[in-house]
Amino acid sequence: MSYFIPLRRVAMLLLFACLGIALPGQTTPDTLPPLPKDANQFVKEAIKHQMEADAADHTHWRYHIHKEDDKGSQDRDVIDTKDGQLARTLLINGQPLTAEQRAADEARMKKLVDDPTERAKRDKRAKDDEDKGVQMFKAIPDAFIFKYEGAENGQVRLSFFPNPHYNAPTRELQVFRSMSGMIWIDRAALRMSRLDGSLFEDVTFGWGLLGRLNKGGTFSVTQSRVGDDHWEIVSLDVRMSGHAVIFKTINVKQLQRITGFHRINDSMTISEAYQLLEKGDSTVSAENQGGMANSPGKK
């Protein structure tokens, strides 16, 4: 999944769940250890556990994704295979594809299926994004100071603000110095659950010459357990503005809703996924595009 650089990289790695949790002084299952007094230690443990769990999860899934940005909206039927991801476009701006749009979409899919070089280029871009996202994710406990804020909807809620002693080693990580917000952590699953953040000041790169993100930009991410112990992103909302390379205006607004998860055979090839997508047995209508009825993220 591609996302805003650098904030979207962090956002796409932060999760949401709805299992029961409790804070010190409240009823806690006997099997759960008490929360660390140091909130940063609790966050560090959650991040470590989440990264280990994600690394051990090799399952593959099919789902619907609805995306909106400044150029319009798209709905896609997506299958993740051992050979990489393949997606069939279902709707563009809420409407079925024209004959010309359908032909272009079929050609795009066929090229990914038939051309290993094209898949390799796509996979390299995805791997580069993933590596940078992991780097930022690991930096979170050091980059911020966390504070317990109570319990909400069965989750531990923490506020966060920049650690004044943190020295960002990369340009992407400099964003953390101007970011604050709230994080929810699932106690039983020990995973970061939901993230709502904003920029409380402008973020500049290269003394403002290379780029700037404007104060007030926001982002929100949620994810759900979609089957077994597998967790996936179900919602992403990014609203940023600024400029890049001198005074080229950037207006980063992206909304994603992901629904309809179904596990597939973990040995499925991309050719087999193409055959499934060609059957057209998984559709989205203009009325239900991006539907969040099954998402636990919004109460």
The per-residue pLDDT for range 142-158, each reduced to its tens digit, is 999 999 999 877 789 99
Rounded to the nearest 5 percent, the helix, strand and coil shares of the chain are 30, 40, 35
For residue 86, the enclosing domain spans 7-24+35-279
pLDDT at 20: 27
Helix (H) or strand (E) holding 272: helix 270-279
Task: State how beta strands 203-205 and 211-213 pair.
Answer: antiparallel
CA dist 142 → 130, 146, 160 (Å): 20, 10, 11
CA dist 57 → 5, 54, 142, 264 (Å): 25, 5, 26, 14
Taking the CA atoms of residue 233, residue 239, residue 244 and residue 250 in that order, the dihedral angle to the nearest 10 degrees is 110
Q: What is d(CA 253, CA 266) in angstroms, rounded to the nearest whole number?
A: 34
DSSP 164: T
Are 199 and 217 in contact, with CB atoms under 8 Å apart?
yes
DSSP 175: G
| Amino acid at residue number 275 | Q
Is residue 275 situated within a structural domain? yes
Structure tokens at 81: 């295979």
pLDDT at 281: 56
Is residue 238 situated within a structural domain? yes
pLDDT at 129: 80
Is residue 67 situated within a structural domain? yes
Is residue 55 situated within a structural domain? yes
**14-44 in b/e burial notation, b at 16+ Cβ within 10 A?**
bbbbbeebbeeeeebeeeeeebeeebbebbb
Q: What is d(CA 91, CA 133) in angstroms, rounded to the nearest whole number?
A: 29
Q: What is d(CA 253, CA 217) in angstroms, rounded to the nearest whole number?
A: 10
Rg (CA), the chain: 20
Residues of the chain with pLDDT under 70: 1-32, 206-210, 244-251, 281-299
Residues 230, 231, 234, 240, CA torsion sign: negative
CA-closest candidate to residue 14, choices 264, 267, 250, 231: 231
The per-residue pLDDT for range 163-191, each reduced to its tens digit, is 999 998 887 788 889 999 999 998 888 88
CA-closest candidate to residue 69, choices 243, 297, 250, 214: 250
Domain count, the chain: 1
Q: What is d(CA 290, CA 277) in angstroms, rounded to the nearest whole number?
A: 19
Is residue 260 situated within a structural domain? yes
Neighbours of 256 (CB within 10 A): 22
Backbone angles phi, psi at 274, to 5 degrees: -60, -40
Is residue 194 situated within a structural domain? yes
Partners of 194 in beta bridges: 184
Number of residues assigned to the chain: 299
Is residue 287 situated within a structural domain? no
Are 187 and 21 in contact, with CB atoms under 8 Å apart?
yes
Is residue 30 situated within a structural domain? no
